[in-house]
Structure 1
Amino acid sequence: MSTAATRPTRTTEPARTPRLRADASRNRERIVLAARDAFVEHGAEAPLDEIAKRAGVGNATLYRNFPTRAALIREVALLVKNRIVAIAERAATEAAGPFDALERFAHETVDEKVGALCPMLTNRVDLNDPDLAEARERLMLVVGNLLDRAKAAGEIRPDVAHGDLFIALSQLTRPLPGTSCHILEGFVHRHLQLFLDGMRAPARSTLPGRAATFEDFHGDH
């Protein structure tokens, strides 16, 4: 009798645990994405209560996942880097050709708003954080491969490098002084395409200075 009574508990408990973990994971990602958007609009001091509201969770859920603002900012940095790596990996395997892959990567990456986040992440995230360092290395490798493939195929002018692309992505997603982020968003993809067309081979001009490389951004975010 006692054995039979305990069986429902033993069989149903494992079914509940994964579901709770999945819900917690989704809540955590919603919080981080909401924080990313709030930091873009309001800076690093964006109200945490507002972030919780945007994420559709209670304040207790936010603080349970991220007891400090610094912990939340670090997670935003890690999430954005990992999402950009995933974008590059998908583009490399799904796009029709090398330049198509680079083009797809660039357009999807600007939606991550990396330029608007750059000043905050640079000043508030530990440069020596091992998880962030690993994500940065993966990012440089996969994006470097995208550009190198396009260049080897003769689709990219030879006098540009990886850093040139990152400068463009950063500058195009950084709000202009005195303007709204939402106003800028309407023009980002248009101006990005102008830049990408300028990267195509054959080159129509000689670029001044030297190409920017990943080494120029060593230690940056």
Structure 2
Amino acid sequence: MSPTTPPDDRRLRADARQNIEQILRAARDVFADLGYQVSIAEVARRSGLGMGTIYRHFPNKTALVERVAIEVMRESLTEVRRALAEEPGSWTGFTRVMRHMTRLRSSQLFPVSRGRAKEPGPELHGIRTELLAALDDLVVRTQSAGTLREDVNASDLVLMLNSIPPRIPDPTDGSPVADLADRHLGVLLDGLRAPGTERLALPAPGRREIDQFFRATHDL
């Protein structure tokens, strides 16, 4: 079974599995480009499938967002763990993770809509907790090596990554016409490198601040 296929789709026909993967690829691009406020109709347009096909596999937008979030966070967790194993404590390993998460727009996929009828499922809650813990480990190891400034934490990284703008869409068809992520990430990394010349205000953010930020700014 493909890693992008929801776990309860083991008995689906090959064409149904292909449709699910096609929907998820389109949804990832749409959410990264335009945010969660975009309608399912845009996902359908980019996937080339009908609305009925999407709702056949994902009963509502929340279910689709949650599945995309799980998929992207799982990829990010894998990359953090690889960097920790292959380049422990190095600045190269740290920037590798930051660039990976920027490419996936992982920071935009931490929250799930607060308008849901029930709390996020255990799979999403579990992978988000694992990813945040791995980012904590990455920060601590890089700081211990003396290359990451000591007054930042993993919550800072999540909020900073979220400040990087999405791809700028063409107003006519929504296709991306400019992507400044790498440029802005370069400025961000320069400010994160030790020792840092500007003293940061305290206190540092935590999980509570992350949740409040997404609720206030994205209604998520």
What's the TM-score once normalised by structure 2's chain length? 0.72
Equivalent residue for 1:211?
Answer: 204
Whole-angstrom distance in 1 between the partners of 2:131 and 2:35: 27
How has the CA–CA distance of structure 1 residues 42 and 105 changed in structure 2, closer, same or farther, with 3 Å as cutoff? closer
Equivalence map 1:135-146=2 (5 Å): 135-146=127-138
How has the CA–CA distance of structure 1 residues 148 and 53 changed in structure 2, closer, same or farther, with 3 Å as cutoff? same
Which has the larger helix fraction?
1
CA deviation string 1:146-193 (max 9, x = no partner): 1111011111111111111111101113579xx9894662x2111212
Matched position secondary structure for 1:166: helix
Whether 2:84 is the aligned partner of 1:68: answer: no
Equivalent residue for 1:4?
Answer: none
Whether 2:39 is the aligned partner of 1:38: answer: no
Whether 2:152 is the aligned partner of 1:160: answer: yes
Contact 2:73-2:106 at 8 Å conserved across structures: no
CA deviation string 1:175-214 (max 9, x = no partner): 79xx9894662x2111212211211122222122332234
**Residue range with higher mean Cα deviation, 162-171 or 63-72:** 63-72
Contact 1:30-1:55 at 8 Å conserved across structures: yes
Whole-angstrom distance in 1 between the partners of 2:197 and 2:185: 18
Whole-angstrom distance in 1 between the partners of 2:204 and 2:128: 20
Equivalent residue pairs, number: 199
Whole-angstrom distance in 1 between the partners of 2:165 and 2:186: 13
Larger Rg: 1
Contact 2:102-2:161 at 8 Å conserved across structures: yes
**Residue range with higher mean Cα deviation, 77-86 or 99-108:** 77-86
RMSD, aligned CA: 3.4
What's the TM-score once normalised by structure 1's chain length? 0.72
How has the CA–CA distance of structure 1 residues 86 and 29 changed in structure 2, closer, same or farther, with 3 Å as cutoff? farther
Instruction: Find 1:191's aligned residue among 154, 173, 184.
Output: 184
Whole-angstrom distance in 1 between the partners of 2:109 and 2:132: 18
Whole-angstrom distance in 1 between the partners of 2:156 and 2:175: 23
Q: Which runs of 5+ in 2 are unaligned?
A: 1-9, 215-219
Whether 2:21 is the aligned partner of 1:29: answer: yes
